[in-house]
């Protein structure tokens, strides 16, 4: 679920996007796999290592958000073998026939996955998903630019930060958080609840410098904004560039989400795709990715190999007391999803 | 053997290029026609068709004819976005004219042998990727960006100005991208002004100021109108500039449409909005054609 274009990788992104169709059809004898992932969601060492070991070339393409990936797959843009998608996307991708189930026993490293991340509501029989990383939605902030470290979501409604606030640009995080703050169940369709949260989010709008799921990280790093509704790993990666940056899960609670490796239906390189996914599940490989992307790993064996500092970092692996305040997104029927999208779209009209 | 082949080739080429033969012009037009049909007409037809259907669960298509997307698009709640888009496009066009006219005037009247080189320089930013250019503007306009650092160093300001994610940044970005669309028609119409008209004006005792307002400016008006339309129309559909350089107050029609296709997963509604925008744009272009035709008739 991390999705950022940063200054330094957008050129590479543009280049790889331009080269993708060419690479994908180059030399049919060469073994390839086409992997569609969020940006900065893998260690730079991972894929070269895979290619070195297996001889399989990875065409790696980066994507900005779930919705963009979904729109692309739905529009029938072919050629992808493996995509990463968040939990709540799975049922609709399955329903629309965009993904295939995993062949039984195809992944020998699946045993490393923590059982807590299996038999989930979005994939009860474990047939379509392999968890890749998980993370939380919270507040990223610049220690040097806030009065005191924010503890509550309401810091994002604080008048004194007018023009210094950024919110993620999607219905999912904004509506869900607003419903949570107002004490409504996530599945509600009550018009009163939606009028209530619309008022609340519209009231915040004049304080917001930008709605962004990508460039907000750059703006946090440069100090352009002080507080941002953020995804955990994004901020913690950015903290390498600006040590003033910190991340907090607000006291009112928040959402945790699980990103999954999926097999695209009709993907041309199934055998290679399975080999890649199995590779990503290897404890050592997975641990290396985790320590680079600073999202949490659902891989129990990989966690044992992590630096104790990272493993005990409550911002990456929240302690039990914080976990109690985290929930996963409810699976909404299509009409409710439509209501969410419409509500969010109307708030942005201003 | 080689010579025979060359002469065949030569004859073939001259049939294509110089011949008045109808078939030759068909052959020449075929690639462009096929290109336009496949990559413009077909997708456009698909888009128009989409605008008349309904979207079902998770943005799937329900193929039943109806006009509800258009009814929705005309909802009053979208009016602020439409007016905002017109205002931004208007402001960007005004800025382009303000920057473009002196530039075109200089190139046409004073650049001499540098003319061609200056015109190429004008086009170069247009050839760079718009994403690269937008990121450059973010680096320039940021709180700790080049512009603020410069102003602070010169002690013109004490606190960094808030420039990024403001309407100012969006209008500046739009003007930057579409400046060539303004300058080229202006330059064209300034070039067409016979220089002896100006001499005549001076001979009859008018000063530089009067000559400009009585002769040069009126004669360049077709270029002004053309430049304004050619700048205004594409500004209406822009979304990239607003989404990167703008804030919540810079949510334009292009962003609303983008939102329907990606986040909103409501392609039919997005298609209806696009169709309406296209009608407005086509109207603008028709106006342009008409003015152009009038102009050539007058001459």
B60 to A170: CB separation less than 8 angstroms, yes or no: no
Domain membership flag for residue B51: no
Confidence (pLDDT) at B297: 52
Distance between start and end Cα atoms, chain B = 54
B138 and B280 together in one domain: yes
Strand boundaries in B23-83, DSSP class E: 54-55, 61-62
Confidence (pLDDT) at B22: 79
B23 and B153 together in one domain: no
- Do residues B124 and B204 touch, judged by C-beta distance below 8 A? no
Structure confidence by residue, pLDDT tens digits, A48-76:
999 999 999 999 998 878 888 898 898 88
Domain membership flag for residue B123: yes
Domain membership flag for residue B61: no
B138 and B274 together in one domain: yes
Gyration radius of chain A over CA positions: 20
Domain membership flag for residue B46: no
Looking at chain A, the domain(s) classified CATH 3.40.190.10 span 7-134+257-317, 137-255+324-349
Q: Which helix (H) or strand (E) holds A112?
A: none
Confidence (pLDDT) at A190: 97
**Which of B263, B267, B269, B273 to substitute to test the interface with A, most A CBs within 10 Å?**
B263
Domain membership flag for residue B64: no
Q: Which fold has domain A7-134+257-317?
A: D-Maltodextrin-Binding Protein; domain 2 (3.40.190)
Spatial separation of the C-alpha atoms in residues B167 and B169, rounded to whole Å: 5
B36-52 burial, b at 16+ Cβ within 10 Å, e below that, comes to: eeeeeeeeeeebeebbb
Out of A218, A334, A346, closest to residue B77 by CB: A346
Domain membership flag for residue B107: yes
B12 and B84 together in one domain: no
Which of B48, B53, B37, B17 has its CA nearest to residue B266?
A: B53
B129 to A163: CB separation less than 8 angstroms, yes or no: no
Out of B80, B81, B262, closest to residue A67 by CB: B262
- Confidence band, pLDDT 50/70/90 cuts, at residue B126: confident
B97 and B177 together in one domain: yes
B264 in reach of chain A (CB within 8 A): yes
Range of the domain at B259: 75-298
Confidence (pLDDT) at A18: 46
Domain membership flag for residue B7: yes
Indicate whether this model's pTM tops 0.90: no
pLDDT at A148 over 80: yes
Q: What percent of chain A has pLDDT above 90?
A: 83
Confidence (pLDDT) at B15: 77
- How large is the average pLDDT for residues A301-329? 96
Out of B60, B135, B145, closest to residue A10 by CB: B135
Q: Which helix (H) or strand (E) holds B7?
A: helix B2-17
A208 to B259: CB separation less than 8 angstroms, yes or no: no
B158 and B21 together in one domain: no
- Do residues A78 and A102 touch, judged by C-beta distance below 8 A? no
A92 to B58: CB separation less than 8 angstroms, yes or no: yes
- Confidence band, pLDDT 50/70/90 cuts, at residue A13: very low
pLDDT at A17 over 50: no
Confidence (pLDDT) at B264: 83
Chain A hits for B60, CB-CB cut-off 8 Å, are 96
pLDDT at A27 over 80: no
Pairing of the two strands A245-248 and A326-327: unpaired
What are the beta bridge partners of residue A85? A260
Question: Pick the residue with more confidence: B291 or A184?
Answer: A184
Q: Which fold has domain A137-255+324-349?
A: D-Maltodextrin-Binding Protein; domain 2 (3.40.190)
Structure confidence by residue, pLDDT tens digits, A262-310:
999 999 999 999 999 999 999 999 999 999 999 999 999 999 999 999 9
- Is 0.85 exceeded by the ipTM? no
- How large is the average pLDDT for residues B116-122? 93
B34 and B182 together in one domain: no
Pairing of the two strands A326-327 and A254-264: parallel
B114 and B203 together in one domain: yes
Structure confidence by residue, pLDDT tens digits, A177-190:
999 999 999 999 99
Q: What percent of chain B has pLDDT above 90?
A: 73
B264 to A71: CB separation less than 8 angstroms, yes or no: no
B112 and B13 together in one domain: no
Q: Provide the 10 A C-beta neighbour count for residue B283.
A: 11
**Count of structural domains within chain B:** 2
Confidence (pLDDT) at A6: 45
- Do residues B271 and B51 touch, judged by C-beta distance below 8 A? yes
Structure confidence by residue, pLDDT tens digits, A109-147:
999 999 999 999 999 999 999 999 999 999 999 999 999
Confidence (pLDDT) at A28: 54
Question: Pick the residue with more confidence: B69 or A4?
Answer: B69
Spatial separation of the C-alpha atoms in residues A238 and A244, rounded to whole Å: 10
A345 to B264: CB separation less than 8 angstroms, yes or no: yes
* Cα distances (angstroms) measured from residue B158 to each of A161, A345, B150, B152: 20, 38, 11, 6
Which residue in chain A has the smallest CA separation from B56? A334
Chain A hits for B266, CB-CB cut-off 8 Å, are 338, 341
B152 and B201 together in one domain: yes
B112 and B253 together in one domain: yes
Confidence (pLDDT) at B14: 80
Structure confidence by residue, pLDDT tens digits, B32-82:
999 999 999 999 999 999 999 998 888 888 999 999 999 999 999 999 999
Environment class of B13 (CB within 10 Å of its CB; exposed 0-12, middle 13-18, buried 19+): exposed
B262 in reach of chain A (CB within 8 A): yes
Confidence (pLDDT) at B29: 87
Confidence (pLDDT) at B23: 82
Spatial separation of the C-alpha atoms in residues A69 and A86, rounded to whole Å: 11
CATH number at residue B174: 1.10.3720.10
């Amino acid at each position: 679920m991390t999705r950022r274009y940063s200054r330094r990788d957008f050129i590479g992104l543009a280049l790889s996007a331009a080269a993708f169709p060419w690479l994908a059809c180059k030399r049919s004898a060469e073994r390839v796999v086409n992997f569609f992932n969020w940006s900065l969601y893998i260690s730079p060492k991972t894929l070269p290592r895979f290619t070195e070991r297996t001889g399989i070339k990875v065409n790696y393409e980066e994507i900005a958000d779930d919705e963009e990936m979904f729109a692309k797959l739905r529009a029938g843009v072919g050629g992808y073998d493996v995509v990463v998608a968040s939990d709540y996307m799975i049922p609709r991708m399955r329903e629309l026939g965009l993904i295939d189930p995993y062949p039984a026993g195809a992944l020998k490293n699946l045993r490393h996955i923590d059982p807590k991340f299996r038999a989930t509501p979005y994939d009860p029989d474990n047939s379509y998903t392999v968890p890749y990383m998980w993370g939380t939605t919270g507040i990223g902030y610049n220690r040097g630019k806030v009065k005191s470290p924010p503890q509550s979501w309401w810091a994002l409604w604080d008048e004194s930060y007018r023009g210094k606030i950024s919110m993620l640009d999607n219905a999912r995080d904004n509506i869900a958080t607003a419903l949570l703050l107002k004490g409504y169940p996530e599945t509600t369709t009550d018009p009163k609840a939606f009028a209530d949260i619309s008022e609340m989010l519209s009231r915040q709008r004049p304080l917001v410098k930008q709605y962004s799921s990508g460039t907000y990280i750059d703006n946090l790093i440069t100090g352009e904004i002080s507080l941002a509704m953020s995804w955990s790993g994004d901020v913690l990666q950015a903290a390498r560039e600006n040590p003033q940056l910190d991340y907090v899960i607000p006291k009112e609670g928040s959402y945790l989400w699980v990103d999954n490796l999926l097999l695209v239906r009709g993907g041309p390189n199934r055998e290679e795709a399975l080999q890649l996914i199995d590779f990503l599940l290897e404890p050592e490989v997975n641990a290396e990715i985790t320590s680079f992307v600073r999202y949490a790993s659902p891989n129990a064996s990989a966690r044992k190999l992590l630096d104790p500092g990272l493993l005990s970092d409550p911002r990456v692996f929240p302690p039990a007391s914080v976990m109690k305040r985290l929930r996963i997104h409810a699976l909404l029927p299509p009409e409710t999803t439509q209501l969410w999208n419409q509500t969010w779209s109307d708030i942005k009209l201003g | 053997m080689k010579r025979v082949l060359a002469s065949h080739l030569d004859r073939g080429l001259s049939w294509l290029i110089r011949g008045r033969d109808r078939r030759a012009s068909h052959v020449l037009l075929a690639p462009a026609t096929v290109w336009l049909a496949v990559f413009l007409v077909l997708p456009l037809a698909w888009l128009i068709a989409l605008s008349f259907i309904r979207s079902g669960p998770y943005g799937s298509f329900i193929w039943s004819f109806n006009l509800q997307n258009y009814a929705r698009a005309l909802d009053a709640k979208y009016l602020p976005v439409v007016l905002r888009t017109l205002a931004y496009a208007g402001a960007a066009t005004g800025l382009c004219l303000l920057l473009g006219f002196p530039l075109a005037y200089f190139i046409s009247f004073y650049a001499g042998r540098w003319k061609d080189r200056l015109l190429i320089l004008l086009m170069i930013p247009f050839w760079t990727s718009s994403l690269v250019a937008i990121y450059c503007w973010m680096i320039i306009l940021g709180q700790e960006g080049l512009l603020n650092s410069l102003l602070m160093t010169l002690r013109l300001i004490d606190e960094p100005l808030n420039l990024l994610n403001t309407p100012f940044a969006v209008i500046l970005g739009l003007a930057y991208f579409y400046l060539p669309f303004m300058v080229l028609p202006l330059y064209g119409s300034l070039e067409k002004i016979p220089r002896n008209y100006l001499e005549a004006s001076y001979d009859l005792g008018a000063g530089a100021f009067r000559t400009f307002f009585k002769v040069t400016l009126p004669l360049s008006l077709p270029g002004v109108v053309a430049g304004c339309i050619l700048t205004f129309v594409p500004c209406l559909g822009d979304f990239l500039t607003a989404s990167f350089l703008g804030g919540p107050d810079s949510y334009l029609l292009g962003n609303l449409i983008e939102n329907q296709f990606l986040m909103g997963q409501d392609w039919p509604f997005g298609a209806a909005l696009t169709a309406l925008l296209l009608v407005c744009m086509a109207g603008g272009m028709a106006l342009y054609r008409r003015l152009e035709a009038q102009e050539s008739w007058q001459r």
